[in-house]
């Protein structure tokens, strides 16, 4: 009887958390495969490789909307001028701009992105992934989303999970981390130039 109650109440909380997560726009890219007491898979790596581990915080900040881009900074200070990307000075620095379109980051982005897309078409094609579900931004931020989009039988689900965990997610992590490092490097260079001018 008690066991049944526990089951009912944990089910209640899982549903409540999942429904709330849908409402938070900053979490809109995070797949809802969260289970109480478990780490979200993007916060996890199955290796003890320190090069992999160091990349996790950047990815998590991006996925939870706490990575500070110019648009976020501008919102805090109610200043729209601030929202322009300081790397290219062309448009607002939004998450899609930073991850996908900023020209100043092209050299870092293109090779990793190409490799990521190739892997996806090779690895995920085997699971009958339909093209209309494919959203590159969503894929980069949280590739585990595809687990919730597809209604595979359990066994195939586990296979997809392993492919994403071992092959796809490390590439997404690498992309986010390398873009972050290059952005940081360019911004610092910019600061140094300004200081020299003064
Ligand atoms: Zn830019």
Q: Output the tens digit of pLDDT for each of the chain's 198 residues.
A: 444 555 556 666 656 555 655 555 556 666 666 555 666 777 776 666 788 888 988 998 998 888 888 888 888 787 767 889 999 999 999 999 999 999 999 999 999 999 998 888 788 766 665 555 667 888 899 888 777 666 556 656 778 888 888 999 999 999 999 999 999 999 987 777 777 776
CB distance 72 to 173 below 8 Å? no
DSSP, residue by residue, 136-159: HHHHHH-TTHHHHHS---HHHHHH
CA distance linking residue 136 with residue 24, whole number of Å: 21
For residue 3, the model assigns a pLDDT of: 45
Instruction: Please give the distance of CA 57 from its chain centroid, rounded to a whole number.
Output: 11
- pLDDT for res 2: 43
Q: How far is the CA of 83 from the centre of ligand 1 (A)?
A: 11
- The whole-number pLDDT of residue 156 equals 64
Contact 116, 171 (CB under 8 A): yes
Cα(173) to ligand 1 centroid in Å equals 20
Tell me the CA–centroid distance for residue 26 and ligand 1, in Å: 21
What pLDDT, on the 0 to 100 scale, is given for residue 71?
A: 83
**Which pLDDT score, from 0 to 100, does residue 181 have?**
95
Query: 32 C-alpha to center of ligand 1: Å?
Result: 30
Provide the pLDDT for residue 146.
73
CB atoms within 10 A of CB 26: 11
Query: Quick one: pLDDT at residue 11?
Result: 63
Spatial distance between the Cα atoms of 76 and 90, rounded to a whole number of angstroms: 21
For residues 148 and 157, what is the distance between their CA atoms, to the nearest angstrom? Answer: 9
* Distance in Å, CA 89 to ligand 1 centroid: 6
3-state helix, strand and coil shares in percent for the chain, rounded to the nearest 5: 70, 0, 30
List, in order, residues 6 or more apart from 180 with CB less than 8 Å away: 58, 67
39's tokens: 């780490």
């Amino acid at each position: 009887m008690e066991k049944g109650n526990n089951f009912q109440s944990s089910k209640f909380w899982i549903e409540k958390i999942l429904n709330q997560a849908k409402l938070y726009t900053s979490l809109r890219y995070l797949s809802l495969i969260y289970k109480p007491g478990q780490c979200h898979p993007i916060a996890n790596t199955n290796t003890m490789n320190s090069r992999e581990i160091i990349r996790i915080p950047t990815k998590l900040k991006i996925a939870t909307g706490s990575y500070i881009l110019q648009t976020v900074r501008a919102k805090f200070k109610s200043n729209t001028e601030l929202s322009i990307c300081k790397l290219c000075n062309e448009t607002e620095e939004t998450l899609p701009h930073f991850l996908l379109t900023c020209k100043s980051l092209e050299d870092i982005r293109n090779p990793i992105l190409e490799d990521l897309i190739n892997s996806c078409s090779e690895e995920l094609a085997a699971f009958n992934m339909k093209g209309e579900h494919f959203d590159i931004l969503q894929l980069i931020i949280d590739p585990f989303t595809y687990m919730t989009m597809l209604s595979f039988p359990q066994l195939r689900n586990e296979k997809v999970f392993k492919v994403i965990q071992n092959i796809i997610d490390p590439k997404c992590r690498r992309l986010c981390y390398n873009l972050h490092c290059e952005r940081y490097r360019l911004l610092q260079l910019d600061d140094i130039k300004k200081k020299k001018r003064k």
